[in-house]
Structure 1
Amino acid sequence: MIQAKKSALFERAFALYLMPSIHRSFSHLYGRNIRPPKGPALIISNHSSWWDGLLFFFLNRRVWNLDVHIMMHEHGLKEFPFFRRLGAFSIDRSNPKDILASLRYAENLLKQGKTVILFPQGDEYHLETRPLEFHTGVLYLMEKCPEIPLVPARFYYSMRREKQPEVWIDQGDSLTLGDIPAGTRHERTLWLQERETAALDQLKQEVLKENYEEFQEMLKRRRTS
């Protein structure tokens, strides 16, 4: 596996590039319940776009301010090695030994007080793919670090009336291992998968209804004359 090689200086420099890029790429960015976890956390979300990881970086710079690391597929990290300096580390799902090494690396990060982000689907899938089929790595980490809360986030991308798409982000309530019904690791993963599939479908319905009341606009736009 490829370990992270974080650089605070590189993060600051990358933010100067990323923030204007997000403004150019999205017409709106709406967030609901976006607030810092109380300490280190294991954060998960659905995965349908290359933007997902970058939006997590945006959220961390704008709101969370945590020491974040993110699990990334090995071929993606080899293609974009600069992500290592933003806290990315790799996983190769074709190699069982590498999977275990990556999970143990994530476990050690959590035990060091760092926040870990991962995508339980493993790969990118179309936004409308159902159900969200999760791998069991999330439950492995929750079992190894039961004191660390799980924080779910959901991303939904939408085209509306403007040239650029908009993105809606919903941060769910924290969960602990005790909140998940008892069972095997596979059974608990299935429960979490069904829960997050339903939450994403609910977010989709709110987007279709243009339900802005509970969401905050997170892109500060310049006024044009």
Structure 2
Amino acid sequence: MQAPDPVALRSERHLAFFEFAFTRFFGKHMRALRLARWGRPQAAPGVPAVVFANHPSWWDGVAFMLLNRTLLRDRPLFTPMASWALDKYAFMRRLGVFGIETGTARGSVAFLRTAQHVLRDPAHMLWINAPGRFADPRERPIPIAPGMIRLPEMAPEAQFIPLALDYPFWGERKAEMLAAFGPPIPAATLLAMEREARAPHLAAALAATADRLTEDAISRDPDRFETLVHGREGMGGVYQTWRRLGALLRGQRFDPRHDTRPERAP
């Protein structure tokens, strides 16, 4: 049976709805999506792109969606997901998600065929968790799934853009979603290498981006970041209601944050 065509299934109407839904869900469970000020994506126009990210968390798919919609809205996103998982969330096929059979040669061939189809359009971007499995953001070398080394052959005009993600807790109840893009690697650079040299090269580029993001994360300084999406602040519940009432009785403006230092504007 032929796999569904992710390009044909993608629906801007569904994307608009789920952008709203994902943003609300993010706001409920995360403090903020923050992009390192040095880490904006350098995606060249008119060139297909492969964003290859580390894979520290379940939240990575939400990060892909929000980063794409806030920074690269004019570049349609496509991303693979294990077929067994996508069967549980079939609506995601309308968002550019396509299923892959993991752990088999047949699945790898099907993935590369679909990736080649997606990247024929120079506006398209393929977003991939490069390790192919969950991996702590401090793991070195960063794992690179075998299919990644064949992708330059499927899209010789593409750029390969590293994306580092991290989810530390700072001074509030909810975690931060931190992101940074690294310098693009032309597919031609990878094609000039032996296949076995490509994975270490991609891993090193991704590690350099992740290590720099880690330095900013350790600083716990929001001014090192551009805040793209704000979550709800404060603890919530009875304690926050009590604090709000106290501020009202004192005639003060209520600030739900624990850390009330001002943040620099984006």
TM over 0.5, shorter chain: yes
5 Å-filtered alignment, 1:64-143, equals 64-65=72-73, 66-113=75-122, 114-143=124-153
Aligned to 1:26: 30
Please state whether the residue corresponding to 1:80 is helix, strand or coil.
helix
Distance 2:222 2:189 in 1: 29
Distance 1:80 1:221, change over 3 A: closer
Map residues 173-184 of structure 1 onto 2, 5 A cutoff: 173-180=183-190, 182-184=192-194
Which deviates more, 1-10 or 86-95? Answer: 1-10
Segment drifting more, 215-224 vs 37-46: 215-224
| Length-normalised TM-score, structure 1 | 0.89
* Contact 1:28/1:167 (<8 A) preserved: yes
| TM-score where L is the length of structure 2 | 0.77
Distance 1:183 1:38, change over 3 A: closer
SS at match of 2:119: helix
Per-residue deviation, residues 35-65 of structure 1 (Å, max 9, x unmatched): 4622331111001212111111111211201
CA-atom RMSD, angstroms? 2.3
Alpha-carbon distance in 1 for matches of 2:212, 2:42: 23
Contact 2:152–2:188, Cα closer than 8 Å, also in 1: no
Which runs of no fewer than 5 residues in structure 2 stay unpaired?
234-252, 255-266
Task: Show CA shifts across 1:59-110 (max 9, x none).
Answer: 1211201111101122221222221111111222222012111111111110
Q: Paired residue for 2:219, among 188, 203, 209?
A: 209
- 2:171 counterpart of 1:167: no
Residue 47 of structure 1 aligns with an amino acid whose one-letter code is: H
Is 1:43 the counterpart of 2:47? The answer is no
Alignment check: 8 A CA contact 1:136 1:186 kept: no
- By how many angstroms is 1:125 displaced? 2.3
Aligned to 1:108, what secondary structure does the other structure show?
helix
Contact 2:181 2:209 in 1 (8 A): no
Q: Which deviates more, 4-13 or 152-161?
A: 4-13
Cα pair 2:81 2:100 within 8 Å, conserved: yes
Alignment length (residue pairs): 225
Aligned counterparts of 2:12 and 2:205: Cα–Cα separation in 1: 35
Task: Give the equivalent residue in structure 2 for 1:11.
Answer: 15
1:189 partner SS: helix
Q: Identify the residue that residue 186 of structure 1 maps to in structure 2.
A: 196
Q: Helix, strand or coil for the counterpart of 1:193?
A: helix
Contact 1:106 1:116 survives alignment (8 Å):
yes
Larger Rg, first or second structure (1 or 2): 2
Q: Distance in 1 between matches of 2:161 and 2:182?
A: 6
How much does 1:220 deviate? 4.3
